[in-house]
Structure 1
Amino acid sequence: MGLLVATSMAASGCTPNTGPAATVGPAEPARRAAQSFVHCVESEGGGCVARDPKQGSWDAFALLQWLGAGSPTSILQALRRELEHHRNPFAVQDRFVVVASRYREPLRGAECTPESATPIAELLPKAVSQVETRMQSLGLWRNDLEEVVGGLAEEAETGLADGWLVHMTCYGDPYEIWVATAKRDERQVVVGMLTSMPGWLGSGPLDDERVEGRIHSRTLGDSTTLGVVREGSVDTRWIPIPIEEF
């Protein structure tokens, strides 16, 4: 009897799992790449930025986003300089290094995690349409600018056709960032990042429910950062310090 039970248990332990295999969503490699990059920036800053030709494609997309959201005065004054900068791959990389270095301290301890990911191929037509509409309304849509926008869009599409824009939310300042990835040798690599996103590209303010939900989702003691303090949530009458009068 004991031998029969042991044999039965051994047989059941070796039974192969014939259930459906767990699948990974198409955005998961980009989300993981973004998370790894942020962890690296927390430690190494600009040292996490490696040379990649597709950084130029991301710079083209970022220029379109700037044309669609930047002030008309800054566009008129800086467009020529920005295009010259864009033609220099080392200058593009240096700018990315500067951004990563600047956000090393803010990201450290902010506990940023991927919240969503959008194919850049879906965002690019929105950016081009916004630029055209905006420049026409400002009276700046001329043949030369149309050629510039078309060239930037083509460059962005070529390098970022399989790329993603990963939206990451954080428990502390800066609260949210966007990390761009591109496909290289069957894997996703980070080629750029943004610290703000215009609403016409799908961004929106963090509402109270989402902010409060992120605060309450943490258990006491598992974080070294402060939560979000909403304006008006602290009664200054109960702060035990003298208030200076001027």
Structure 2
Amino acid sequence: MHCVESEGGGCVTRDPKQGSWDAFALLHWLGAGSPTSILQALRRELEHHRDAYAVQDRFVVLTARYREPLRGAECQPESATPLAALLPRVVSRVQTRMKDLGLWRSDFEQLVTALASEAEDGLSDGWLVHMTCFGDPYEIWVATAKEDERQVVVGMLTSLPTWLDGGPLADEHVEGRLRNRTVGSTTTLGVIREGTVDTRWIPIPIEEF
């Protein structure tokens, strides 16, 4: 984290295990993302996944984006979960969700199996480290993979669904994020609390899933 705070995207070096993390992240997206976005963007995301340089570039952009917000946020490790324990839960979630959406076909099953195998190959000894911060963004999840006798960072998540033991920000964190958010003051995403927007007054169809 110290490197990201000082160097941003300059911390990222090419690592084949970034592809394994990208496979895990794709499964995570299939399990948690908008069904509409999945239908529209899946082909593009898979093409991106096949390009090792594109995978690395995405990580560079993410770390560069969070360089400023993480400065002074005072993040520290809170807990760590083996990625090998999370992967079966992600795969099970994707299977159940795609079946519920009517998208589970033989070709989709082959895709999920291939992504899971790729993720397992590179992340079997890795960890997902939950880090909490005293300031915005308040929490992040850092993915590591084993290289020789040490753990190297291969990816990062900025949110985790409840079915992977994530949860909503505490009220005081949400209020703090809203107070700290001014125009141009941060590049992280804002927070919209449930019930803030009355959907009856939005002249567009709201997706339900």
TM-score by length of 2: 0.82
Q: Distance in 1 between matches of 2:119 and 2:69?
A: 29
SS at match of 1:42: helix
Which runs of 5 or more residues in structure 2 are unaligned? 179-209
Partner of 1:83: 46
Give the 3-state SS of the residue equivalent to 2:112 in structure 1.
Answer: helix
Partner of 2:127: 164
SS at match of 1:64: helix
Question: How much does 1:89 deviate?
Answer: 0.4
Question: Cα deviation per residue 1:19-71 (whole Å; 9 max; x = unaligned)?
Answer: xxxxxxxxxxxxxxxxxxx1111000000011100000000000000000001
**Matched residue of 1:179: which SS?**
strand
Q: Structure 1 residue 43 and structure 2 residue 1: aligned?
A: no
Q: Which has the larger radius of gyration?
A: 1
Show the 5 A alignment for 1:159-198: 159-198=122-161
Q: How big is the shift at 1:229?
A: 3.7
Q: Is the partner of 1:44 in helix, strand or coil?
A: helix
1:71 to 27, 34, 37: 34
Q: Deviations over 1:91-131 (max 9, x none)?
A: 00000000000000000000000000000000000000000
Structure 1 counterpart SS, 2:2: helix
**1:205 shift after superposition:** 2.4
1:111 aligns with 2:74: yes
Q: Aligned partners of 1:230, 1:78: CA distance in 2, in Å? A: 30
**How far, CA to CA, are the matches of 1:118 and 1:77 in structure 2?**
32
- Give the one of 99, 109, 133 matched to 1:136: 99
Contact 2:5 2:68 in 1 (8 A): yes
Task: Report the CA distance between 1:230 and its aligned residue.
Answer: 8.8
Look up the SS of the partner of 1:171 in the other structure.
coil
Deviation at 1:186, TM superposition (A): 1.3
Structure-2 residue corresponding to 1:149: 112
Q: Quick one: distance in 1 between partners of 2:111 and 2:40? A: 16
State the TM-score, normalizing by the size of structure 1.
0.70
Structure 1 ranges of 4+ moved more than 6 A:
none
Structure 2 matches for 1:21-40, cutoff 5 A? 38-40=1-3
Structure 1 unaligned residues grouped into runs of 5+: 1-37, 213-227, 232-246
SS of the residue corresponding to residue 200 of structure 1 reads: helix
Distance in 1, matches of 2:8 and 2:67, equals: 5
Q: CA RMSD in A?
A: 1.8
